[in-house]
Amino acid sequence: MRAPSASQRGVLNPRAMGTHFHLTRYPPSEDLAFFVERHWTVRWDLRDREPFPQEVLPHPCVNLVLEAGRSAVHGVGTRRFSTLLEGRGQVVGTKFRPGAFFPFVRFPMSGLTDRALPLHEVFGPAGADLEPAVLARHDEHEQIALVEEFLRQRLPPCDVTVATVVRVIQHALERHEIARVEDLSAQVGLSVRTLQRLFRQYVGVSPKWVLRRFRLHEAADRVAAGVHVDWAAFAQELGYFDQAHFIRDFKAQVGRSPTEYAALCAAHEFPPGQEQPHRVRARVSGVLGPG
């Protein structure tokens, strides 16, 4: 297996990583890379500390999540995901590429949006056996190898539409100036109606939602990094009608205004010269955001 990869985009209050929990990401084996974007693990030990609320703005991807008593396939979450970390625990996850879980189940991903299905409902009895088999191992490479073998045994044929969906979403991510679905449609050479149909079936959310979520990821990332932002100009850059609309949307999704969120992130600032103790450090990369 190749070396770990990392990205912070989508993780709210990313400076808490390494102090309250450890997030590690691994790329998939080559034969699974068409469908799987990455594997990830979260470990925490707060037995002598207060519980910690960790929040994420989900990406437009399906995740297979293994956690004691709570294992499930999670569709795209349109709202902020929040979980309370307490005691000691671990989660092992697999993040599929945008649209790439559809070939495994062949039902519209819109039916999975904002839902989590137990593994046995998706994969049958073998799905129920995956959790204890994986969590019984302590080495993350061994855990991921078991997940990969499970997926390998159920690998569907490559669906060329998945590659189209990934290309469109990557374009939306990289072109910050795109704020309208009509502009995305013109640039990728697909009609608005076609994009809407593909996204409903393969992704589970609309192209408009994806554009808006990526821009909020970018905004939250800048705030968390402590970058000085001209909010009026930034709101215009992201395609908002005005600054007030942007701030309302930011607060609705992140749970705090940009100013309040900046103060929260600053509370986890480290002393000068002390590096934040991430287990993995790498560039922030595109679609490779948190699950």
Letter string b/e over residues 187-198, b meaning 16 or more CB atoms within 10 A of that residue's CB: ebebeeeebbeb
Q: How confident is the model at residue 177 (pLDDT cuts 50, 70, 90)?
A: confident
CA dihedral of 178, 182, 184, 185, whole degrees rounded to 10: -170
The pLDDT of 54-73, averaged and rounded, is 95
User: pLDDT value at position 269?
Assistant: 47
- Record the tokens describing residue 19, joined without a space: 């102090």
User: pLDDT value at position 163?
Assistant: 97
Q: How confident is the model at residue 7 (pLDDT cuts 50, 70, 90)?
A: low
CB-count exposure of residue 237 (10 Å: 0-12, 13-18, 19+): middle
Q: Give how far Cα 242 sits from Cα of 115, 181, 209, 222, Å.
A: 33, 19, 18, 19
Q: What is the pLDDT of residues 25-44, one digit of tens each?
A: 999 999 999 999 999 999 99
Residue 72's DSSP bridge partners are: 65, 118
Lowest-pLDDT range of 36-50, 124-138, 146-160, 263-277: 263-277
